[in-house]
Amino acid sequence: MITDIAEKISAGERLNYDDGLRLFLHPNVTELGLLADYIRRQKHPDPMVTYNIGRNINYTNVCWVRCKFCAFYRPPGDQEGYTLPDQEIFSKIEELIGVGGDEPESCEILMQGGLNPKLKIDYYERLFSEITQRFPAAYLHSLSVAEIVYIAQISNVSVKDALMRLRDAGLKSLPGAGAEILDDEVREAIAYRKESTQEWLDVHKTAHRIGMKSTATMMFGSVETVEQRLKHLLRVREVQDESLATREGYFTAFISWSFQPEGTELPETRKATGYDYLRTTAIARLMLDNIENIQASYVTQGPKIAQIALRYGINDFGSTMMEENVISAGGVSFVMPTDEIARLIEDAGYSAQRRNTRYELIENSDR
């Protein structure tokens, strides 16, 4: 029974590791939903779910890392490798602004790519400055930790200097990509060439210290146990405590999604269920008392489970994602028009409200 944990939640007390583990082992998903929905309403009393207009731009698929869970990358030298020409990137941004309207900094650009040995920091500085000058409506929420660490390394600068130069060129915030499970035992099993847990956390901390905001993610359902998921959540919470104390940047949102085994080196992995997703999402809402927003992952869960999750602690439906290449390379991908997102939100008893990447509300000019 979790009555004592429910009482802690009701009293506004912070949950600890043991509480979290007991929640993960508690099968009654409706009780987790009741508690997570209660906290969600404390943090977001208005019956509203936000969404964002944005698109992924996978500017290169060349990557030397070869993570087992990734079906997207091509190794350097592979003839299927690409780096998008600037003009193609610009026309993708134009397309996005065509949908999202020209309010300044309202359209989110999520540039993510492989670790491509040919692309040093000057490539990004030039590209980001040009995007910022050409498209005032764009908001660069781009690059994963792995990319930043790699860019710094091949350009012989520190991570902090790299982040400051990228920021000055127009990079506004960091997506939480590549967090996978922030536990080295898991990372060694599924992403041993990637940054360590500490490195991932440090890059976000550094970004926060220079005034940048970021998001945090968790990819569950590969080889980890619920204990390792819980450690992940607590590590994110600890960094957030520190970042909030310095009053600079911080995590704006947390997003969890499930590992998509198709096309990866772990194709036989049992795929995480919607039940697991709802419980994990609800527990994230309960444990992460210092993160304002919890985002849905309809790309991995599909519209039905993602909509149910709006009563499991989620207050944001994420971005419209005009295209998505990384997860779809792993087999499953749901892309949804804004009208459909709004219908699902309204069917769940909320109003649908567009926001920007900073979670400021903007007018629903797109509808």
Q: How far is the CB of 321 from another protein (least distance, A)?
A: 19
Residue closer to another protein (CB basis): 136 or 331: 331
- Residue 306, classed as helix, strand or coil, is helix
Q: What phi-psi label fits residue 64: left (phi over 0), alpha (psi between -120 and 50 degrees) or beta? A: alpha
Q: How far is the CB of 186 from another protein (least distance, A)?
A: 11
Residue closer to another protein (CB basis): 84 or 223: 223
Q: How far is the CB of 27 from another protein (least distance, A)?
A: 3
Q: Which residues, 6 or more positions from 335, have their beta carbon under 8 angstroms from its beta carbon?
A: 299, 321, 322, 323, 324
Q: How far is the CB of 276 from another protein (least distance, A)?
A: 7
CA distances (Å), origin 270, targets 185, 237, 333: 19, 28, 18
Q: How far is the CB of 301 from another protein (least distance, A)?
A: 8
Residue closer to another protein (CB basis): 157 or 332: 332
Q: How far is the CB of 349 from another protein (least distance, A)?
A: 3
Fill in the amino acid letter for 205: K
The token pair that represents 314 in the structure block: 């989620």
- Residue 140, classed as helix, strand or coil, is strand
Residue closer to another protein (CB basis): 78 or 227: 227
The token pair that represents 62 in the structure block: 């060349």
CA-atom Rg of the chain in angstroms: 19
Does an H or E element contain 51, and which?
strand 48-52
CB-hemisphere CA count at 13 Å for 23?
Answer: 30
Residue closer to another protein (CB basis): 62 or 284: 284
Question: Which of 331, 305, 345 is CA-nearest to residue 52?
Answer: 345
Residue closer to another protein (CB basis): 174 or 296: 296
Using CB under 8 A as the criterion, which residues of the chain lie in contact with another protein when the complex forms? 3, 6-7, 9-10, 16-18, 21-22, 24-25, 27-35, 37-38, 47, 221, 224-227, 231, 234-235, 238, 270, 273-276, 278, 301-308, 310-312, 340, 343-344, 347-350
